[in-house]
Amino acid sequence: MNKRKIKIGILGGSFDPAHKGHLAISKEAIKRFDLKKIIWAITKKNPLKAVSKTPISKRIKDCKKLIGLNDFIKVKFYEDIINSNKTIDLINYLKKNKNLEIFFIMGADNLINFHKWYKSKSITEKCNIAVFDRHGYKKNSLKSETFKKLNNKTLTFVKFKKVNISSSQLRKI
């Protein structure tokens, strides 16, 4: 008997701070891809960004507060378990469960430099990539190396009513 895989989403990042944009794309991903749940995989430090001044414990607490009653979102910190902050290591860890189909969720801004991520090709081979349009990034993300290689294979570019907010904007306030 062929058992149907459980679809989950992973939205990774420093969540410094978490905001309604994270929540909006999570809700859209649940509907669009028929996901069972979404994991907000919080990292102490994004390898391509500066160190966060906000402690990881506060960022986790703030994420849980923002999520509220949206129980399809789970806030997780895996780095101590997998001894890594690399996306591929998290995906390999989760893929130990053969019943999972993973959708890696990101904003269009991340797609632009995705080819520079550690083992990016391996990430695209092991999960579906769901890229959410972000204000001001569509043109460059659609020209990106990764989009050109993966378009309509394992990558879906999601156009939706964008929330014009970012963590870097909020840190400046």
Q: For the CA atoms of the chain, what is the radius of gyration? A: 15
How many structural domains does the chain have? 2
Tell me the average pLDDT across 47-61.
Answer: 86
With bands split at pLDDT 50, 70 and 90, how would you rate the model's confidence at 171? Answer: very low
Are residues 121 and 173 located together in one domain of the fold?
A: yes
Could you read off the pLDDT of 32-41 as tens digits, one per residue?
A: 999 999 999 9
Are residues 72 and 127 located together in one domain of the fold?
A: no
Could you read off the pLDDT of 84-111 as tens digits, one per residue?
A: 999 999 999 999 999 999 999 999 999 9
Alpha-carbon span 10 to 148, nearest angstrom? 22
User: Does residue 90 fall inside a structural domain?
Assistant: no
Are residues 78 and 113 located together in one domain of the fold?
A: no
User: Does residue 99 fall inside a structural domain?
Assistant: no
- Residue written as token pair 């129980």: 71
- CATH code, 75: 3.40.50.620
- Residue written as token pair 């149907």: 4
Query: Residue 9: is its pLDDT beyond 50?
Result: yes
Alpha-carbon span 91 to 106, nearest angstrom? 14
User: Does residue 92 fall inside a structural domain?
Assistant: no
pTM over 0.85: yes
Are residues 1 and 79 located together in one domain of the fold?
A: yes
User: Does residue 95 fall inside a structural domain?
Assistant: no
Could you read off the pLDDT of 128-161 as tens digits, one per residue?
A: 999 999 888 889 998 999 988 886 678 999 987 7
Alpha-carbon span 92 to 3, nearest angstrom? 21
Give the residue numbers spanning the domain of 127. 109-173
Instruction: Return the pLDDT at 96.
Output: 96
User: Does residue 52 fall inside a structural domain?
Assistant: yes
